[in-house]
Structure formats: structure tokens, C-alpha cells
Structure 1
């Protein structure tokens, strides 16, 4: 009998660890700082950034949809990008704000899976839309006579729809694979949201299949779009340099410059996240880098497109004027 007690205890521990597959399980999000003095400051900063992100991107959507001058493929994709940026930030920041306000680091297993699912969808959509926008600029500048024929409404809608379908399935597979993992009770996640790579690091069971799928998806959906963007802009720069008039170059340079700024922010901060986690193995540095592409970049995108684009500034001015006259 004495020899059977350890086995019984081990079976009980194993059973308790397996219970994290239910919605009753809780994880602990360690967030950006455990210092109680900094909690109100972090709450104020991130609440302000979130509101600016939502308001700025919403204005871009309203301006593009209400102004007939912006009913073009480029601004159709920009409106979709603004919508996705709102959703991307909303998938992580509100939960962090609630945790900061209530001084509670807990997040349920179901909420965590939902964050992984929606965050990956919207992050992947950002990736696809930036690639499609680069292709749109390539056709507009390198094949201007065929632009309206190539970038017709049917193709634009199909490109966006296919992007959504691909990301829905990729994110779903991530979640289904993650449901097969086990986690210890009270698992701590050194992040301010349930980020997939961090979840795989803290799993109690073997996550080899999850990591393989993650690396394959990152290679296919990360490397190829970057190659596509570089290919598009190499031809765009070549075409712009061939233009004799500097006046003719100005508008293409302006629209392409805005897009390149957003691309640099998105991929630069994303690369910084993976580099910091691979080189320093510091969860804090990885978390701070994640703040850039999950919060800061979506907040800056409307400013980048509006400040460098006369069409958007004009549309925003007309939109605000109408709002002032008809409160």
C-alpha cells in the first residue's frame, strides 16, 4: 500500500495539469511592469493610444468611403488596413486595460485562445494588405494605361476576401494545435497578451508540431510577401527614375513614401520582436518590441497616410467641415 500512494499522487497531479483544457483554467499575464506605482501611468498611456488609434483609423475609413475622389483601389485597401488596425489593437489592449484597472493579471483559457485566434488573423491581414497595396502601386506606376483594367473592383474584392479566408484557416489551425497542449495551473505568461510564441514556451507538453507549423507559416506568409514588396518597389523606383519631370514624380513618391513608412514600421518592429527573443532571450525586451507593432504602428498609420497625402488631407477636411455644419 505505501508504494501505491506516490503513484496516486502523480496521477492526481497529471489530472490537474490536464484540466487546463477547460474554460475554468487561468493564466497570469505579467504585463509590462509589476510596479504598482506605474500601473496608473501605464493605464493612462495605453488608453490614450488606444483611443487615438480607433479615432484616427475610423476617420480614414469615413473619409475614404464618403469622398468620391478616394473611391479608388488604393484607398479601398487603405480603408481595409485601417479597419484591421482597429481590430488588431482591440484584440489585445482592452484586456490589458481591464487588468491594469482591476489589478488582476488573470485571463481565462478560453479568452487566451480567443486572443491567439483573433490576433493572428488581424496580424496576418496587416501583412497581406501591405503586400497588396505594394502591388497596387506597382501597377499604377509601372502600367498606368492598364491600371483600371487590372485593378478592377472584382480583383480588389477577391484579393481582400482571399486574404481573410487564408488567415481564418491559419489562425484556426494554430488554435486547434494549441488546444492539444497542456499547461500547469497558474501558468505565468511574460507578456501583456496571449502571444502565440510565448504560449508555446510556457506549455508543459511537447510543442514540436506547433513550432513546426508556426515556422512554416511564418516562412510562407512572411518571407514571400516581403519578397513581393521588394520586387514591386524595385520596379517602382526604376520607373520613377525614368520620368523626366520632377513634378510627375512628386505624387507617386508621396503615396509610395507613406506606404514604405508603414511597411518599415510593421516589418521592422516585427523583426525586432523575433531578433530580441532569439538573441537576448529576454521576455521584457520582446514585450516592449511587441508594443510597437501591436499598439504604436496602428496608431501612427493614420498620421502617416494623412500628413503625407494631399488627397486624404483634403477628404478629412471636407469630412470635418460637414460634421461642423451638421452636428
Structure 2
């Protein structure tokens, strides 16, 4: 019997292609959350995703407005990772040149307020009160940013629309652990690929921060609806030249459930959880292909540990 302290739901994601016509795609920006570098004249970030394309800044009350500065950004956090077909931006009808030279960015990197993500387009200009479409060719991301670096100006958007489809991940078993949404992914990957997978489609490999979380993760693993590998990857990593373990999420490791404390020279730096009735943590060779657990909730206080691979651009 599953504890009432948390919910467990099986979610089988169906892969979607990008073969749909643009007219069949919906504006997913309406379901997102907007923020920006500053607010002036009541031009809140959310006004660019309110469904109102009125370009009359003075009378429409539906355009954003940053502070007068040298650097600006507007950011949209989508509710999931999307393959973005195209983005439509509606410009204001006066001082339309203020948007000239802004960059449209899409990706999953939350650092620097999302402004380190790949570029879809440079907005050279948009006519007064006009809407312009920018083809992003299926770029994958949860963040859509407009960044403007130009002295003594203001960034204004009257509407930003994002058209695309969810970038469907592999089937997974979803649950809530201590208020955090997680997914046990029905795909076997090496540790580094599992980390990138979680960061591409969700948020990060899971950290376990307390005994209470450990017990609930155990219940999740008992309830998974597909056969699990005997160990499942966590976001647990050890310094290559030391004995200290840490979480890739940046969470403090003030709880551990290692069965034994091995000598670091004889262990692998990648950590996993046993899926038998013991559920102890331990190291595995990083190249082994195992199931893994992702944290799916966006964490605004992002202190994730950066990880680089020569096999990934």
C-alpha cells in the first residue's frame, strides 16, 4: 500500500514529431512564467504572455517595459521542455527601434537568468506595431529569452508567442517525494548521459537530503511499474582525487546512506542507490548503463554543479 504522504502516478510519455503544420501548433507561452531585468511604468513581464497583442503602449496596457539601462533581458520559463518551431514577437507602435539588435535565446541553462542559452535569432528590427515570426527549427529548451545589450535604452515586448511541442522523454514512473516531483526513467544510460538527460528534459539527477526523503524514495522504487536495474543512478558524485561525495544539484550532503565507506582509490566517482530491500547507496563504474531518477521541478535557487563532457557540444 502506497503511503498517503506522497502521490505516485505512472506517466507514459508518447514521442511527438515535428511534422505538424505550424497552424496546428498552440501558443505554449500562455502557460509559462515570465520575468525580466527590471520594471518601469507598470510594464510587468507577464504582459508579454497575456494573449493581448495590442501594440499601443500608452493606451493598451499590455506591453512590458524595463528600466532605462545598458543591459536588459526578458525571460519565459515554460512548464516543460519544448521543441520550439517558431516564436512570434509583437513590437510596440512607438519607439519601435528600441528592440533592434536584441537576441532571441532558447535552451535549458538557467545560469545568468537564462541568458547563456543558444541563439535562435538576432532581432534586427520589427515594424511599428507589427508581429514578426522567427523560425527556431525545433530548438529544445524550457527557457525563451530576449536579451538586449545597448547603452541607454529600454526593452519592450507587447506579446511573445512560442509555438512548439513537448520534447517527449522516454517513458517514466512519476511520483512526489517530500513535495518534490521526481521521475524514474525507463531508459538505461551511463551516469553522465543520465545527468544530461535529466537536465535536458527535467531539472537534475535526484538528490536525497534526509532520512525522510530516503524512506519515500524507497517506496517509489518499490512501486515502479517496470523492472529496475539492481542499482539506479542518483545525482551523487565524488571528487576524483578525494573521498568527499557531493550532490550535482548543489544540495548540501548532510545525510548519507552508504552501506560501507570505501577507500576512494578503489571506488568509482559515480553514485547509485540499491533497488533491493536494502536501498543503500554505493559507487558504480560510471560507464555502466542503469536506470536513473530525475528531479523534475524547476529550482529557482540554482546552485547546480556544472558538468562538461568532450562527447557533448
Q: TM-score normalised to the size of structure 2? A: 0.24
Higher relative contact order (CA 8 A, sep 6+): 1
Higher strand share: 2
Higher helix share: 1
